[in-house]
Amino acid sequence: MTTKSTTTRPRNGDAKETEAGQPPAEGTPSASHYKGLDLGTSRIVLATASGDRTRYRTELNAFVSLPYSKMTKAMLERESIHHRANGKEILAFGNRVDEFANILGGDTRRPMQTGVLNPSEPRNLEMLELALTKLCGRAGKNDKICFSVPSATNGSDADVIYHEQSIRTVLENLGFEVHSLNEGLAVVIAELKDHEFTGIGISFGAGMCNVSVSYLGLPVVQFSTTRAGDFIDYSASSVTGETPTTVRMRKESETFKLNGKSHGSSVDQALSVYYRDIIQTITLTLERVLNECRHLPPFKGPVPVIFSGGTAMVEGFHEELREALMRADLPFEILDVRRAKYGMNTTATGALVAAMANT
């Protein structure tokens, strides 16, 4: 089999703490009072305005259960890995848990699925509470946070309401004034200031793709699809017989490309099929919802599209998305299809800008 590659494409979010060159909070004396939180199915990104800079911290949204021993607990403390002792087990959360899952021969557990709290994980909220307490800390006086929420899929918003309310309560208990922001709109807010926040923002994540069509910062149409990164992993695993983890590692490796010329392995071919299905699903859904929309605003000229997210990182994705959207039958012209300059930090940046704007 030729699917294994050990080099992983560099991810913007890999660094535990990074800084952005373009601070949304420049010159704001009380900027450290604001936080933007991207609560994704596979990764959590926290943006904190600090003086004239923005700091980003990323954690994998996953955990493992380890058998309790004083030695294990001491090791987790020494390595600064978030954890909570719980009777005969220790629950460890975040960036390093893939390592433990490998050693123990199991899979990591995930508090979220398809953009919201994972209904089949009994410790879903407990683990998110641990993660958010460690990442965000207790709020000081007047501290504000804005977190990203997905759009409902297929018009059913009951799960999103429960998810949003549960996370809001966790953050309020930490002492924050809490706001929330749609994930697609966060992309627009982070990247389309020069277009007066008018355009289409798309976030291609693990559990979901979120789309927001915005006019002057107001959402015109918002939707999500659950055909995203996890869908690629499970579908390609199912048709090739490889594990989802093997497939995901190949998907994230530098040598996998979506360029239409692949004569690679069956895994590569399966990955290409499902990547293209994601692009097609987004394009067809956008066509349908915009053509059904009865109250389209008077867009003055062609409309820009900005996209972000881990699933969009693969080489060749940009070109295929651009081609599909340019060919789509939409009620207005597309100006261009651009990759977000904040990369994997885009949603957190949009949420941070919104936290500041809500004051």
Ligand X SMILES: Nc1ncnc2c1ncn2[C@@H]1O[C@H](COP(=O)(O)OP(=O)(O)O)[C@@H](O)[C@H]1O
Interface positions with Mg ion (CB under 5 A): 38, 40, 205
| Smallest gap from residue 28 Cβ to ligand X (A) | 27
Q: Give the footprint of ligand X on residues 289-318 (CB under 6 A).
A: 309-311, 313-314
Query: Given candidates 31, 34, 35, 42, which one binds ligand X under the rule CB under 6 A?
Result: 42
Residue whose C-alpha is closest to residue 90's, from 122, 132, 127: 127
Phi and psi of 328, rounded to 5°?
Answer: -65, 150
Q: Which is nearer to ligand X, 206 or 213 (CB)?
A: 206
Query: Given candidates 90, 206, 211, 267, which one binds ligand X under the rule CB under 6 A?
Result: 206
Is the CB of residue 356 less than 8 Å from the CB of residue 34? yes
Q: Which is nearer to ligand X, 81 or 228 (CB)?
A: 228
Residue whose C-alpha is closest to residue 201's, from 193, 209, 211: 211
Q: Residue count at the site for ligand X (CB under 6 A)?
A: 19
Does 43 bind ligand X (CB under 6 A)? Our answer is yes
Neighbour-count burial of 122, counting CB atoms closer than 10 A to its CB (0-12 exposed, 13-18 middle, 19+ buried)? exposed
Does 157 bind ligand X (CB under 6 A)? Our answer is no
Stretch that binds ligand X, among 17-25, 39-47, 76-84, 167-175 (CB under 6 A): 39-47
Please list the alpha-helical segments (H only) found in the chain: 70-78, 97-104, 124-136, 158-173, 183-191, 229-240, 244-251, 266-292, 317-327, 346-357
Q: Give the footprint of ligand X on residues 221-250 (CB under 6 A).
A: 229-230, 248
Three-state DSSP state, 193: helix
Q: Which is nearer to ligand X, 178 or 202 (CB)?
A: 202
Query: Given candidates 83, 84, 144, 251, which one binds ligand X under the rule CB under 6 A?
Result: 251
Write the CA distances from 110 to 66, 183, 220, integer angstroms.
Answer: 15, 20, 32
Which residues are at the interface with ligand X (CB under 6 A)? 9, 11, 40-43, 205-207, 229-230, 248, 251-252, 309-311, 313-314
